[in-house]
Amino acid sequence: MQRGWLDQRFAAFPHIRLIYCDIDIDASVDIYCDAHELPFRDGCFDGVITTAVLEHVLYPERVAAEIHRVLEPDGLLYSEIPFMQQVHEGAYDFTRYTLSGHRRLFNRFAEIDSGLVAGPATAFLWSIENLALSFFASRPARLATKACVRLLFFWIKYFDYLLRNKPQAMDGASCTYFLGRRQDTAVPDEEIINTYVGGQYRRHV
């Protein structure tokens, strides 16, 4: 699925070659590999795109280091990671990140942009769906329940369009993105804390 929309997005740039990687044997990819140990030489890519991956790996910091390693100097990273989402890969779902945590994970990248992929409305819809699913164990019942919830409540997610430019919505984001440029030095933790975006005013001295 991601291959389809990425190919369309980059269709106007035929000089860019995309290499798709995954560990899922059912995925449409060019190479199967473990992101903890990417089978590529140092500095061989101009950019890396990782979407809905890092919540499923055992050691996100190790994967972040591998991404940094395979990027050329000043290479670009685009990452999407969920925050307010329920489990969606069963036993292979491990981690969630706030936007600050997302930035901290990629602290060896200078931030170009970051923000919401999906906001609190989508997070609310996830909660409704999982509340309903909590009453059913069988696969047919769960599939029917999921279909009913999405049919009845799909409209809720469109409130995110009203919230996308509101910093306070970040505290309840369903998913965030980070766009950064590779650098050799790490961004200090204090700087990451000071660039917090959200509605909370708490500061520790």
Which residues, other chains included, contact 112 with Cβ-Cβ below 8 Å and sequence gap of 6+? 76, 179, 180, 181
pLDDT the model gives residue 28: 86
pLDDT the model gives residue 205: 58
> In angstroms, rounded to a whole number, what is the distance separating the alpha carbons of residues 202 and 173?
19
Instruction: Give the mean pLDDT of 86-102.
Output: 95
**pTM given for the model:** 0.91
Q: Cα angle at 168 between 49 and 170, to 5 degrees?
A: 20
2-6, 20-24, 82-86, 164-168: which is most confident: 82-86
Q: Smallest Cα–Cα separation from 22: which of 9, 10, 38? A: 38
The mean predicted confidence, pLDDT, of the chain is 94
Length of the chain in terms of residues written: 205
How do 31-32 and 21-22 pair as beta strands?
Answer: parallel
Using one digit for the tens of pLDDT, what is the confidence trace for 165-197? 999 999 999 999 999 999 999 999 999 999 999
pLDDT the model gives residue 144: 98
Torsion angle of the four alpha carbons 130, 160, 9, 75, in this order, in degrees rounded to the nearest 10:
-90
Residue 34 identity: D
Query: What is the maximal distance between C-alpha atoms in the chain?
Result: 53
Q: Smallest Cα–Cα separation from 177: which of 56, 50, 48, 28? A: 50
